[in-house]
Structure 1
Amino acid sequence: MRVLLTGGSGMLGAAILRLAPTAAPDLTLLAPTRRQLDLADRAAVAGWYASNPVDAVIHAAARVGGIQANIDDPTGFLLDNLRINDAVIAGGNEAGVGRLLFLGSSCMYPRDHRQPLVEADMLAAPLEPTNEGYALSKIAGARLCDYISRQFPGRAYRTIVPCNLFGAGDHFGSAASHLLAAIVTKVVEAQADGRDEIEVWGTGAARREFMDVDHLARFILTVLPRLPDLPPLLSVGADRDHSVDDYYRIVADRAGWSGRLVHDPARPEGMAAKLMSSDRARGFGWVPPTTAEFEASIDAALSARRRQVA
């Protein structure tokens, strides 16, 4: 099967490329870089499809960023991702691509809603304002996939909504850092500098669900040949969450740092909680990571960041 992989240089895309030779040796992955193909250029993407026939698409590309980046530029996060999704998803349909797997985000679910969240909760209540632009682009992409699948015979366009990810290739110490990568960065740097305090944005009480990116990548590679069997929307997560403070303590304990956390409640912390149910995904072979696997992934992230600052 020939597959277009978008976002091949991102954390998830890189994991898929790294694991595919052993996890899915029958796949031929085509992963043009941003320099080779601007996904926001609809004409360029259409030209690529015409010159490179594929059987399926794994659409993992997006403009992403942390909470402050989303607050600073909601217009950009909405428009850039709408353009990318139009070119890749609608363009794929126009090119006759039969299968497409779109990667959503847990921020697509409502804020302050029941826990755990299930697929039927999508659009059931208001979104979290701090990343609403990004969330709306993901919701629009998921709806587009569903519409195409229902309207055009032979199309199986599906959306997987993963929980928060971390692992190899994460954006340590940059404006694009997500929570766990930022925590790892802060702990490693505090330890290296001999500091006994770390600033925590918000109250530290917000709860998040994280898993290693490799765990998701393996599932995607396994489920791609069975894409028509999947429902339009499938949440895939760790089935457990922790508070922000808990994540700081877990990382600090694994790193051997014993300082204290200083909270800045004036800083944004996003949704209070967004634990997702993976019950539906279990019916398609999903097995959430164990606690031991999660801790091993934290150790690997700490080692990766230490190598960067050495």
Structure 2
Amino acid sequence: MKIFKNESVKIIMKVLVTGSSGMVGRNILDHNKAHDHNVLSPSSNELNLLLYENVIQYLNKHKPDIIIHCAGKVGGIQANLREPVKFLLDNLDMGRNLVWAAYQAGITRLINLGSSCMYPRNTQNPLREDDILKGELEPTNEGYAIAKVATAKLCDYIHKEYPTYSYKTMIPCNLYGKWDKFDPDASHLIPAVIRKVYIAKQLNESSVEIWGDGQARREFMYAADLADCIWHGVENFESLPFLMNVGLGYDFSINEYYEAAAKIIGFEGGFIHNLDKPVGMKQKLVDITKQTAWGWRPATTLSDGITRTFEHFLMREERK
């Protein structure tokens, strides 16, 4: 449907967002662009991505103009090591069911969210899109990565075999932000750091433990920036590359993330390095050449992002 406003044409689309209760999904719904479109954000009870028949029935009934697929089982190193079968099967089933059902339902536009875990562990940084499947995956999240690669490849194969179907994959760098998971059994680096440093301050502890030597480098983008990129993709879909990294173009060491969190939280103690703990890849920095050429860049600094995430963490703590 088209509506006319201020002498310009505005296209209102029916947009299906999977995983709308997760961190990325909630940031997508929180973005001001969500108010410009008719957004479908079903719960897992309404749309169970693990059941193909449920998916195809939902898509045939609602017929969205475009799908944003950000649902998935996610977690940090501990969770991936503890449940590799579930991380592989759940993410594989969700991706396969949704993408294939979208094709069967005649939905021609889809944005699939991949992960920088898709890249081989020893690939030279920055990681370029054509590096995928050119080496061994990082063992600490291999199952999750395999599922993400398979879903991205299915999107690619469908477009190559049926060119009118444009199924595109964004590969974001590591994320953090509002609605993140702070549970140590499921959290990623930055929310885990915020929680650890906050508890250490509350208990007047003299130090906080860091896994490894803290020299490994990571690129973390504020999730609201990814949401902005996704909406830019929805509204500029034709120019969006079929496979594109989304990131900052620069990274920080693990030590620097702890130091930044400590400064914001007000923790004045020191740090102890536990060299017996796993640390994953030494560096994971994505190449943003395509993203830059496409015309989008993130806006949130590390200090602002951690500050907003910490404020969200405190709100959660107060509600407990």
TM-score tier, shorter chain, comes to over 0.9
Matched, 1:8 2:20: yes
1:165-219 alpha-carbon deviations (Å, 9 max, x no partner): 1111000134220000100111111111111211112221111001111111011
Give the match for residue 27 of structure 1: 37
Q: Secondary structure at the match of 2:280?
A: coil
8 A contact 1:70–1:77 mirrored in 2:
yes
Amino acid of the structure 2 residue aligned with 1:216: L
Amino acid of the structure 2 residue aligned with 1:9: S
1:3-33 alpha-carbon deviations (Å, 9 max, x no partner): 11000001010011111xx325442110101
Counterpart of 2:302 (choices 276, 281, 294) is 294
Give the match for residue 45 of structure 1: 55
Counterpart of 1:137 (choices 144, 147, 153) is 147
1:120-179 alpha-carbon deviations (Å, 9 max, x no partner): 111121110110110010001111111111111321100000011111100013422000
Gaps (5+ residues) in structure 2? 1-12
8 A contact 1:56–1:100 mirrored in 2:
yes
Amino acid of the structure 1 residue aligned with 2:315: R
8 A contact 2:212–2:277 mirrored in 1:
yes
Q: How does 1:199-238 map to 2 (within 5 A)?
A: 199-238=209-248
8 A contact 2:182–2:191 mirrored in 1:
yes
Q: Secondary structure at the match of 2:291?
A: helix
Counterpart of 1:191 (choices 182, 198, 201) is 201
1:102-135 alpha-carbon deviations (Å, 9 max, x no partner): 0000111111221111111111211101101100
What is the aligned length?
306
Amino acid of the structure 1 residue aligned with 2:160: R
Cα separation, 2, equivalents of 1:50 and 1:307:
40
Amino acid of the structure 2 residue aligned with 1:97: I
Matched, 1:62 2:72: yes
Q: How does 1:267-286 map to 2 (within 5 A)?
A: 267-286=277-296
Cα separation, 1, equivalents of 2:312 and 2:15:
30
Amino acid of the structure 2 residue aligned with 1:5: V
Cα RMSD of the aligned pairs, angstroms, is 1.3
Cα separation, 1, equivalents of 2:296 and 2:163:
28
8 A contact 1:209–1:240 mirrored in 2:
yes
Give the match for residue 125 of structure 1: 135
Cα separation, 2, equivalents of 1:85 and 1:227:
20
8 A contact 1:188–1:306 mirrored in 2:
no
Structure 1 segments of 4+ aligned residues over 6 angstroms from their partners = none
Q: Secondary structure at the match of 1:199?
A: strand
Counterpart of 1:18 (choices 23, 26, 30) is 30
Counterpart of 2:111 (choices 101, 110, 134) is 101
Cα separation, 1, equivalents of 2:312 and 2:35:
28
Instruction: Report sequence identity in percent.
Output: 41
1:51-107 alpha-carbon deviations (Å, 9 max, x no partner): 111111000001111101111121111111111011111111111001000000011
Cα separation, 1, equivalents of 2:205 and 2:51:
46
TM-score by length of 2: 0.92
Q: Secondary structure at the match of 2:67?
A: strand
Give the match for residue 261 of structure 2: 251
Once the 2 structures are TM-superposed, how far is the Cα of residue 306 of structure 1 from its aligned partner? 2.4
